[in-house]
Amino acid sequence: MTDTFPALVIREGDDGPTSTIEQLTDADLPDGDVVVDVDYSSLNYKDGMALLGQGRIVRSFPMVPGIDLTGTVATSASDRFSPGDAVILTGWGAGERYWGGYAARQAVRAEWLVRRPDEMSAQTAMSIGTAGLTAMLCVLALDEGGLKPEDGPVLVTGSAGGVGSVAVALLAARGFEVTAVTGRPEHHDYLRSLGASDFRERAEMAEKPKPLEKETWAGAVDTVGSTMLAKVLAQTAYGGTVAACGLAGGVDLPSTVMPFILRGVRLQGVDSVQAPVAAREAAWSALASELSAEMLESMTTVVPLSEIADHAQPILDGQVRGRTVVDPRR
């Protein structure tokens, strides 16, 4: 008898894409030189769009969504990995062009994988996930820009979301004075528990900025884009660095060159989808040492794969706080 495993599969129907939990076998898996027994995946903004058929996230059908996963190597045709190795996959088009983490077993390419740090559990890895990796890459970008805690306060937009939550925690742990932007006052206590010391209202930061405003922030992590990013740039102090990684507010940037040429502000784009393996390994190593498992647990909700579709619209509406980890076997 062939073993089966559960997977959430999106198929294209006459009335548009539909998703159902199916029982698959290894014969159903796509090409890949490493087969991983998946412990956990997570819910990200792109996953919500894929589950709801928005934004052309899914490029072909059938598709197993889930842009990240962690688990144990079951079989490997690559000399980089052996059965029993604990691995992490984030980005590289998983869940978009290639089958992703919403399955209890998955075949992937070896070059997409990094080893999970020995001191990091599977659940912790997906509490971090793509969002946490992106946050750490943003923090490392600020570090490369020369930002130090004594330079002044730093700002994090979209602070209650997955990337923002981890960014707040990382920056606070490094000794920075962190101001969090949120439109929901009920999240203040949560953000304080992560290390935020001050707050700005989302509506205030979404107002159309002047070309230059009062120098307020030594640096920032922006997860929103559009007018809010323009506002952040206008308020960034001389020589500051802004790491931009999101576009939930839009893909436009209604700014001017004045922050760049009059204040020497550096705008550093951050991409976690195709980031080189060396950058990923450095980020995961830093995450393993700088984030406590207890703090991550406080920002994490674990849900079964059978219920993940119910969480898709809330994450698109900005109603999901922290991180949602997905158990593909339930």
Average pLDDT over residues 259-288: 95
Q: For residue range 195-205, list pLDDT tens digits in order.
A: 999 999 999 99
Q: How confident is the model at residue 2 (pLDDT cuts 50, 70, 90)?
A: low
Residue 168 has pLDDT above 90, yes or no: yes
pLDDT of residue 201: 95
pLDDT of residue 1: 40
Continuous segment of H or E residues that includes residue 141 = helix 122-144
pLDDT of residue 94: 95
Average pLDDT in the chain = 93
pLDDT of residue 227: 97
Q: How confident is the model at residue 56 (pLDDT cuts 50, 70, 90)?
A: confident
Span of 1-15, 29-43, 277-291 with lowest mean pLDDT:
1-15
Ordered by where they begin, the domains of the chain are 5-116+299-327 (3.90.180.10), 129-269 (3.40.50.720)
Q: For residue range 303-318, list pLDDT tens digits in order.
A: 999 999 999 999 888 7
Distances (CA, A) of 78 to 69, 94, 147: 19, 19, 40
Say what the alpha-carbon torsion angle 73, 77, 81, 84 is, to the nearest 10 degrees: 30
Q: How confident is the model at residue 57 (pLDDT cuts 50, 70, 90)?
A: confident
Q: For residue range 213-241, list pLDDT tens digits in order.
A: 999 999 999 999 999 999 999 999 999 99
- The packing angle between helices 122-144 and 162-173, to 10°, is 70
Average pLDDT over residues 14-39: 92
- pTM value is 0.90
Closest residue by Cα to residue 122 from 91, 107, 101: 101
